[in-house]
Amino acid sequence: MRRGLLIILSSPSGAGKSTLARRLRDWDASIVFSVSATTRAPRPGEMDGREYHFVSEPDFKARVKAEGMLEHAHVFGNFYGSPRAPVEAAIAQGEDVLFDIDWQGAQQIRNSALGAHTLSIFLLPPSIAELKRRLVSRGQDTPETIARRMQKSWDEISHWDGYDFVLVNDDLDATEARLRTIITATRLRRLQQPGLTDHVRALQTEFEELS
């Protein structure tokens, strides 16, 4: 039995984070997405507990005050955050919880009570030109929106050195393979294996009996 990880995956928009997050879930079902809480109203088709936990602003603020949020932020007039209780329950059961958040949220989680169980990974694009090409190829945004996304992307990139691992996503398959290797190795950290202490004690008892 191992203790789960809080896996933080951050990147500028267009660097492949969402695709790689889905691939990780397909690779290992014990990796679950963190469902954020928000004070904004549900959009058509959204379900409470699936896309978000929809809560009132007073409820959200009360949770923050009670240290019930691992991280939180105020974005475009609404609050967003990661509830602490379901994450604690998941990692206690050996599940890894995947967070798709920015550098500020990552910093808050690393500084939280669960920070010791955090694995943070930042994805870099192969070039700025390729990043812009990916945003344009989506065909979803106006040139003005793309310009804003590009500026925000550079703001995100400037915090790359605050992460445990940094990968250049120039090939999705290769990057996925590296992510799997990183996660597999980190799961074997001593801290993630609470049963080791009892095992070593049993070895000590056996050694003393045979001596």
The per-residue pLDDT for range 21-63, each reduced to its tens digit, is 999 999 999 999 999 999 999 999 999 998 899 999 999 999 9
pLDDT score, position 142: 86
**Chain mean pLDDT for the chain:** 93
- Which numeric CATH code is attached to 6-34+95-210? 3.40.50.300
Q: Can you name the residues that pair with 100 across neighbouring β-strands?
A: 9
3-state DSSP assignment of residue 164: coil
**Span 163-170, average pLDDT:** 96
Tokens of 181: 């290797």
Tokens of 191: 């801290």
Residue 155 has pLDDT above 80, yes or no: yes
Is the sign of the CA dihedral 192, 107, 37, 167 positive or negative? negative
Phi, psi for 154 (deg, rounded to 5)? -70, -35
Residue 139 confidence class, pLDDT cut points 50, 70, 90: confident
- Report percent pLDDT > 90 for the chain: 78
Q: Whole-model pTM?
A: 0.88
Among the residues of the chain, which ranges form H helices? 17-27, 57-65, 84-92, 103-110, 128-137, 143-157, 172-187, 196-210
Token pair 């923050």 is at which residue? 64
The per-residue pLDDT for range 81-126, each reduced to its tens digit, is 999 999 999 999 999 999 988 899 999 999 998 999 999 999 999 9
Tokens of 47: 């379900």
Residue 9 confidence class, pLDDT cut points 50, 70, 90: very high
Residue ranges of domains in the chain: 6-34+95-210
Residue 211 has pLDDT above 90, yes or no: no
